[in-house]
Every structure is written in structure tokens, then in C-alpha cells.
Amino acid sequence: MSGVFEVIGTPHPDRESRVKELAELGFAWADLEDEAYWIDQMVLMPEALYEELVEASEKLWAILDKAARYVYRRRDLYELIGIPPILWEMLDLAPLAEPGLISRYARFDFAIANDGTIKLLELNADTPTGYVEASIATPWMAAQAGLASPNSRMKELVAEAWAVERPDTAACVAYGWHTEDSGTIEALVRHSGLDVTCEDCLELWIDNGIVKTKDGRAIERMFALYPKEWMMVDDAGEALSYAIETERLHIFNPPHSILLQSKGLLAAVWGLYELGLLFDEEEREAISRYVLPTYNKPVFSGSFVSKSMFGREGGSVRLFDSAGKLELEDQEGFDGSVLFPTVYQKRAELAKIDTAEGEFHLLTGMFVINGKPCGMLGRAGGQITGNASHFIALGVK
């Protein structure tokens, strides 16, 4: 297929043994309920495009960091970007991390068109998954293709970040039976080199502001693959927020990662850009090049996308055509727009790739760990990249 991306390799005839080998490395969900989640091929991009992607990620990371600092302690802006009021006190009291480290573990999602145009769709700065696919499976695939992997620094940067945060516990919801989230925190713990216990969020309890495990051990420092906006609806949300506010619990990603997580922050960035506020000339150039026009209201004359400020896995995404009619909506993921405000973003074009599993749109993820862009994640799916998409390894030619 023409365009900047090239699909290489043919799937190995003995998929079963390869799936087993990946499981031994820590990627245990290459096949999910008889569905092939992992595509046994690689997608390569030209080196110049990869270098631009890294540079775009660095610039956007600094721009969003600046915007989050602008929003910090301004409750009118918390409200505007959909931050649940239950978290406002916690955010106001917690000290803001140094520049570039409001989140230590994040992933940008980019739409790269067939012609190589890069546009930012969103930033998952709170609880990104895909880490195992990017840090373990992608270098494994690259080595077999005789290529150097651009993702080789991910483990080292995780170790750097965790050495500073020093959690005693890592937790996710349904640890032990949710394969992907469990495998993700286990890989992060392994790569950190620290002695960290893994726990199920659902088995934790809070006693006078102290978070405890089911066995009664007090947790002081925790890495949690737990979306902070859930504190608004969870029974123990207020107690957890209080534990963080009173510094009985140190959590990371840090509390303010939710400011970066909100898709409303992209609308704030675009609004500040249009008003000529906050950003210098170089930042404005990067915004005009890589950020899609994003608003709190559907003001577009052309085609656009609507999504919840805290939608995940494609849930709540709706695509509208040039006449403003609903063209496609995600039916799989949870629709976060029932709980949170909506943003409206100009539509961007995703490149199409031909794979052994069929033709797909390609979504390009870029992890930012300890403030550094360091690992690509390829997902092949429909126009909305949701739960049903495939993982395909990305490399550089």
C-alpha cells in the first residue's frame, strides 16, 4: 500500500508456539478468547517520520505541562475541563511536580495520515496500558526482523521513575484475573527492579485515612492503574481522596496527572492558542501543526469527533460527517459522556494498512516515561480505536 507505512513479514505458521513464547516473556494476552489480538507482522515508518514524532511528543509534552500549571488551583478551570469536584481539594493541596513530571507514565495517541501528517488525538497521562506490548513484544518482534527497536529504553526509564517514587505496592482492579492490567503492573514492577507487592484495588480498604491491604498491611506509597476520575463514583472514593490529601498515601502517577488526562485540557490549549495567551511563538507553531481544533461545544462546519473528557478504550467516541450527521459511534466501551462533559475535536485521518488479518486504520501511540518519549505502540482497528482493535508492533526503517 502506498503511504509512509510499510507492513513487513508474514505470520509464522506455528502461531501457538509464538503466543506461548510471548506469554513466557510477560505478554499473556496475544490471543484473547480465541481472538488474535496480536498481529504477527510489523509496521515500519521512515526514520525522518519517527524523528518528527519524537520531537512533536517532546514539544506537546511541554505545552500540556504548561497548560496544566495554568489550570492548577483554578477551580473555574477544573470545572471547565471536567475534573470531579471530589478531587479539587486534593489537587489544590498536593504540591505540583517539577516541569515535565506531572505524570511519570503516560502515552500519547497520534493519528498519522498516509502522507505522514501527525495530529495528536489525546494523551493518556494517568493509566495507560499497552506497556507490555510496547516494551516486551515490540523489541522481540524487531529483533526477529533484524531491526533495532526504538522502544529499548522503556525499561530503563521505568526503573528511573520508580526509583524516585519508590512504591511499596502496585495495584489494579481485578488483579489476578484481569489478564491485561495484571500483566501490565507485573511487568512494570519487574522492570522497576524494586520489591513491590501487587494487590487488587477491590480488596483494599481505608481506615482513618490509612489505605490497607486485605491482610491489614498499611500502604504508604502506591502505583495504581486506577483512573482517578473513578473516585467520583466509587464508594471509597472520598476516603481515598482524603488519604492522598492528608499525605497518608503517596500515589503515582501523581494526583495532577488527571489534569493532563482530561481531554478538556486540549480544548483549553486550543482556546489559549486562539486567544494568543500563554504560549510563545515556537509553542504556537507546534500547536498549529500537531493539535487538532478542540472545543467544549460542537462549533464545526466540517467533520468532527465528540468524546467524553474522560472516555477510555474508544468508549463515548462519535464520528460526525461533513454535514454534521452521526456517522459512527463506539458500541463496545463504557460511554463516559454520561458522567463527564464532552469535547468536540476536528477529525483527523488515520493511515490504512493491509495486514494478514485484513485492512485496518493505524493508531500510533508514543509512551512518555519519566518525561521522555521512548516507546511506540501500534494499534490496528476501525476508525474508532476501541477494545476490539489489534496490537501490531511498530518499528523504524
Share of the chain above pLDDT 90, in %: 87
Length of the chain measured in residues:
397
pLDDT band at 336 (very low <50, low <70, confident <90, very high): low
- Could you give the angle at the alpha carbon of 136 between the alpha carbons of 142 and 20, nearest 5°? 95
pLDDT at 387: 72
Instruction: Compute the radius of gyration of the chain from its Cα atoms.
Output: 20
The set of cell numbers assigned to 273 is 492558542
Residues contacting 106, CB < 8 A, separation 6+: 123, 124, 125, 126, 128, 253, 257, 260, 367, 368, 369
Instruction: Say what the pLDDT of residue 117 is.
Output: 98
**Closest among 387, 391, 389, 390 to 377, alpha carbons compared:** 391
Distance of CA 239 to the CA centre of its chain: 26
Sign for the CA dihedral angle at 169, 171, 174, 179 comes to negative
pLDDT for 311: 74
Name the residue among 177, 143, 192 with its Cα closest to residue 29.
Answer: 177
pLDDT class of 337 with cuts at 50, 70, 90: low
Mean pLDDT calculated for residue range 352-364: 97
Distance CA 265, CA 261 (A): 8
Nearest C-alpha neighbor of 223 from the set 182, 179, 185, 272: 185
Banded pLDDT at 322 (limits 50, 70, 90): confident
How far is it, in rounded angstroms, from Cα 286 to Cα 280? Answer: 10
Q: Please give the Cα distance from 310 to 81 (Å, whole number).
A: 10
Helix (H, G, I), strand (E, B) or coil at 375: strand
Predicted local distance difference test score (pLDDT) of residue 312:
64
Name the residue among 57, 56, 65, 108 with its Cα closest to residue 257.
Answer: 65
Grid cell of 356 as nine digits: 494478514
Query: To the nearest whole number, what is the mean pLDDT of the chain?
Result: 94
Helices 264-275 and 281-290 pack at an angle, to 10 degrees, of 130
Q: Are 28 and 183 in contact (CB under 8 A)?
A: yes
pLDDT of amino acid 365: 98
Cα atoms in the 13 Å half-sphere on the side-chain side of 316:
20
Region 200-214: what's the mean pLDDT?
A: 96
Mind listing the pLDDT tens digit for each residue in 163-193?
Answer: 999 999 999 999 999 999 999 999 999 999 9
Whether the pLDDT of residue 69 is over 60: the answer is yes
CA gap 268, 80 in Å, rounded: 9
262's grid cell: 482530561
Instruction: Output the pLDDT for position 334.
Output: 62
Q: Is residue 1's pLDDT more than 60?
A: no
How buried is 277 (Cβ within 10 angstroms: 0-12 exposed, 13-18 middle, 19+ buried)? exposed
Phi-psi domain of 130 (left: phi exceeds 0; alpha: psi -120 through 50; beta: other): left
> Are 164 and 194 in contact, with CB atoms under 8 Å apart?
no
pLDDT digit string, tens, across residues 33-47: 888 999 999 999 999
Residue 242 — φ and ψ, nearest 5°?
-65, -40
pTM of this structure: 0.96
Q: What is the pLDDT of residues 273-287, one digit of tens each?
A: 999 999 999 999 999
Give the C-alpha separation, 343 to 294, whole Å: 7
Q: CA–CA separation, 380 vs 37, rounded Å? A: 10
